[in-house]
Amino acid sequence: MTKIDTSRPETVLPTPSHTVGPFYGHALPFPGGGDIAPIGHPDTIVLQGYVTDGEGNPLPDAFVELWGTDPDGNLPQVDGSMRRDPASGGFLGRNGVEFTGWGRIQTDAGGHWTARTLRPGARGRNAPYLSVCVFARGLLVHLYTRIYLPGDDAALAADPLLSRLEDERRDTLIAVAEAHGTYRFDIRLQGEGETVFLEFQ
């Protein structure tokens, strides 16, 4: 048994803080995490991009979580995004039919992420957008942002959040159209061109 002498004051050093990564890679990723749209859906769009640090270096162990409405602007009410085998607990994959609006993607070795989903519909006065949560090394708390899709300039101009931002900052929230049905959205954690992040209280 160890005895501690409490009659002598000792110097106590604070415990160092932890970040939200990269220790989470064991249980959080799952196969098909970016396959949000139902299999073969004709309106599937592809979102892709990079997660980079303040120096522009790609992060190979970040997570990007997406949430979005269906094309009619309704929040999906489907339980869960992945199915597990009740006996083994192994991953069976999405059912491929129901749209949950949710996905989780781990960046690859080059910091790249890709998701296949449906274009979200508008809700209220907001232009259509996808909610994003970013987990990455060096972050004490995960970050929230949005992905707006180009194509409806009037809706983007009237959006309550976008209309409060300067053009340069506003552009960090709007994906860039590439090939047909493919959009690029890079997430810069800090530094020049830093993505606009949101704080919820």
**What does the alpha-carbon distance between residue 113 and residue 62 come to, in Å, rounded to a whole number?**
9
Residues 6+ apart with CB under 8 A from 61: 21, 22, 25, 106, 107, 136, 137
| Contact in structure between 39 and 113 (CB atoms under 8 Å) | no
Supply the pLDDT for residue 116.
96
CA 37 to CA 155: how far, in whole Å? Answer: 24
| pLDDT grade for 16, boundaries at 50, 70 and 90 | low
List pLDDT tens digits, range 173-201: 999 999 889 999 999 999 999 999 999 87
Confidence of residue 139 (pLDDT cuts 50, 70, 90): confident
> What value does the mean pLDDT take over residues 128-153?
92
